[in-house]
Amino acid sequence: MANSIRWHGWDGDWFLRAYDSFGNPLCSKANEEDQIFIEPQGMCVMAGVGLEDGTARRALDSVKERLATEHGIVLHQPAFIQYYLHLGEISSYPPGYKENAGIFCHTNPWIMISEARLGNGDRAFDYYTRINPSAREAISEIHRCGSYVYAQMIAGREAPGVSEAENSWLSGTAAWDYVAITQWILGIRSDFCGLRISPVVPGEWAVFTARRIYRRVTYNIDVKRTGPGNSVSFMVDGVPLEGEIVPHTVAGRKRVCGRGADFALCVRRTRAVLLVCRRSIFKLESGDPR
């Protein structure tokens, strides 16, 4: 699949969107409109395509150069300026609105995750804040949407009402943004063999703390930056641990580490970090509705 994408889906600086029924490419430099789309850049990089040969980095740089605005990442560029029967709905909206080059919020987290996959915490978090409702409260007079809810879209650069949010509540953005910030930027996510702790945070972050309940075990995670880099190393009970995964606790154990209930991990990560992870078994008392 990856080879097929590289052969048929790479346009030199970004990934193609699709081919129409006549065999013409969508999202190509050869087109006057719809030269680059956000979806294939995020989906391909999230799938791991182009991580080794540099095409993933080039595609995301093209997103920054061609699609990113101060209010979020638009769906495609340039916008359609007329209706195309063979394309249908996407070309029916006014330029800068909805699928026709609007900032479709649902797709933005795919680029956040992709940037995190490539180790760029600064850019990933920057994209996160651009569409975050609470962060946009300072420009509420032009955003025109509540600070507690995501909108389906924000008007793109060709729209008369650029930066104005439309269709609040009608979006899957909140779920995707939650995945982007917790699992990829903070880097705390479940894995087959345990809990992966692999932060890719902005360079200016000195510390952060997190609490994660995973398989009835509570992880209280304190992160402190110690230097540059993205390499990770764990020290568990004084013994080096390969990789970025904290193994599952042994069934029935109430203490995970030799020193009380503390689980200390020395981690060099995203500007290198020091993690101290305290784990305790989550107990259910009789009558507890949980």
Higher pLDDT, 205 or 287: 205
Q: Is the pLDDT reported for residue 265 higher than 70?
A: no
Distance CA 176, CA 107 (A): 8
Instruction: Of 87, 84, 82, 65, give the one whose Cα is nearest residue 74.
Output: 65
> E strands of the chain, at which residues?
18-19, 25-26, 36-37, 68-69, 72-73, 76-77, 103-104, 151-154, 165-168, 188-191, 194-197, 207-214, 217-225, 234-236, 239-241, 245-247, 262-265, 273-281
Q: CA angle 28-103-176, nearest 5°?
A: 100
**What does the domain layout of the chain look like in residue ranges?**
2-183, 190-281
φ, ψ at 261 (rounded to 5°): -105, 20
Name the one residue in this structure whose structure tokens are 């900032």.
103
Report the pLDDT value the prediction gives residue 198, as an integer from 0 to 100.
86
Burial 171-192 (b: 16+ CB within 10 A, else e): bebeebbebbbebbbbbbeebe
pTM over 0.75: yes
Q: Hey, which CATH number is domain 2-183, 2.160.20.10, 1.50.10.10, 3.10.450.50, 1.10.340.30?
A: 1.50.10.10
Q: Is the pLDDT reported for residue 103 higher than 60?
A: yes
Distance CA 282, CA 288 (A): 12
pLDDT digit string (tens) for 2-27?
A: 999 999 999 999 999 999 888 988 88
Token pair belonging to 229: 């880099």
